[in-house]
Amino acid sequence: MTFKLSVLDQSMARGRNEGALALQETIEMAKWCESLGYERFWISEHHAFPSVAGSAPEVLLAALGAATNSIRLGSGGIMLPHYSAYKVAEVFSLLSNLYPNRIDLGVGRAPGADMSTARALATDGRPKFEAFPKLVEKLSEYLWQDNTEPMVSPMPHEDIPVWMLGSSPDSAQLAARLGLPYNLAAFINPQAHESIVNYYQENFKPSALWKKPYTILTIGVFCAETEAQAKALQLTFDINFFRFITGHTQGSFLTPQEAQLHPITPQLADFIKSRNTLRAVGTPEQVKSKIEAIAQRFAVDEIMMVSNMHYLSDRKRSFELVMNAFSE
């Protein structure tokens, strides 16, 4: 295997009042993925979603660091237009002092919420999406340069990697121009083309911390002992995600048993088909083969997997089966 394997966890809550359980499951997943040998474990940022508990990755990262020993931990990512670059730099500098040489800072431009919530997050009611490139540059200066004004306190324990996250050519262009490692979110944009990664790699300009490009591709993965079991897990997620984006969840997800009884409308069938391009579903052997093919097609350094399954036991088993398949 010429690429690394890592994990993105979104702290999915099964119901409106199950945030505490979702967060505890994220902590359990980080410990599990560390024991299996995964390279890194990242968490996401979403706001005003009753089915997602991860609204403050910087807080959750502190808990994950205390619960683990060696796995790299990161934000996937901090939605930077909502915040001051200086504040983010100090928060992650503090994390790097708590957990040296283990912290990744992934940043993104997306709101991670609807626009009314984005306005509520902004101190003046105006999200600074257009200022995102400047915010990333300023953040990198605070973390990588000595004698910044104002100084970052505490001083970073080490040069903290700043990662560019995105799902479109714009993010790849910015990552290449600023000399940052790049994470392409194919699980968000399953129609993403390898030309996005090609552009990034061919136009990369070395920076203070990164002398050559480094690419992660994040994809959905559903692995089980049998193909039928894996497809049932995938179908449950697809139905719940479709219900979520069409406003029919009422803050709770269908169980796998309930999902099997859900009617597959033409619209839902088209939605599921559109998401099958860049993900791996099946037995360990099938998933390994698909991941290898995707990694080769995109010429990436690392595959990050997101497996939003209803039950913690299914998620843990999926990551175990995948790692075992690659360890044989």
Distance of CA 108 to the CA centre of its chain: 10
* pLDDT at residue 76, as a whole number: 96
* pLDDT at residue 36, as a whole number: 98
Indicate left, alpha or beta for 251 from its phi (over 0: left) and psi (-120 to 50: alpha). Answer: left
* pLDDT at residue 296, as a whole number: 97
* pLDDT at residue 320, as a whole number: 98
Q: Which residue has the higher pLDDT, 50 or 176?
A: 176
* pLDDT at residue 250, as a whole number: 66
Confidence band for 251, pLDDT divided at 50, 70 and 90:
low
Cβ proximity of 26 and 324 under 8 Å: no
* pLDDT at residue 110, as a whole number: 84
Three-state SS for 133?
A: helix
Confidence band for 306, pLDDT divided at 50, 70 and 90:
very high
Task: Give the Cα separation of 221 and 281 in Å (integer).
Answer: 6
* pLDDT at residue 1, as a whole number: 64
Q: CA 265 → CA 98, 232, 243, 245, 268, distances in Å?
A: 50, 17, 12, 15, 5
Confidence band for 116, pLDDT divided at 50, 70 and 90:
confident
Average pLDDT value for the chain: 94
Task: Give the Cα separation of 64 and 72 in Å (integer).
Answer: 10
Smallest CA-to-CA distance from 237 within 266, 263, 260 is with 260
The per-residue pLDDT for range 53-70, each reduced to its tens digit, is 899 999 999 999 999 999
Three-state SS for 104?
A: strand
Task: Give the Cα separation of 128 and 176 in Å (integer).
Answer: 22
In this predicted structure, which of 16-30, 117-131, 191-205 has the lowest mean pLDDT? 117-131
Task: Give the Cα separation of 123 and 87 in Å (integer).
Answer: 13
Cβ proximity of 112 and 79 under 8 Å: yes
Residue 16 has pLDDT above 80, yes or no: no
- Which residues are paired to 221 by β-bridges? 280
Work out the widest C-alpha separation in the chain, in whole angstroms. Answer: 62
What domains sit in the chain, N to C, each tagged with a CATH number?
A: 4-220+300-320 (3.20.20.30)
Residue 211 has pLDDT above 80, yes or no: yes
In this predicted structure, which of 201-210, 238-247, 266-275 has the lowest mean pLDDT? 238-247
Query: Region 247-271: what's the mean pLDDT?
Result: 87
Query: Region 213-241: what's the mean pLDDT?
Result: 96
Distance of CA 34 to the CA centre of its chain: 17
Task: Give the Cα separation of 324 and 280 in Å (integer).
Answer: 15
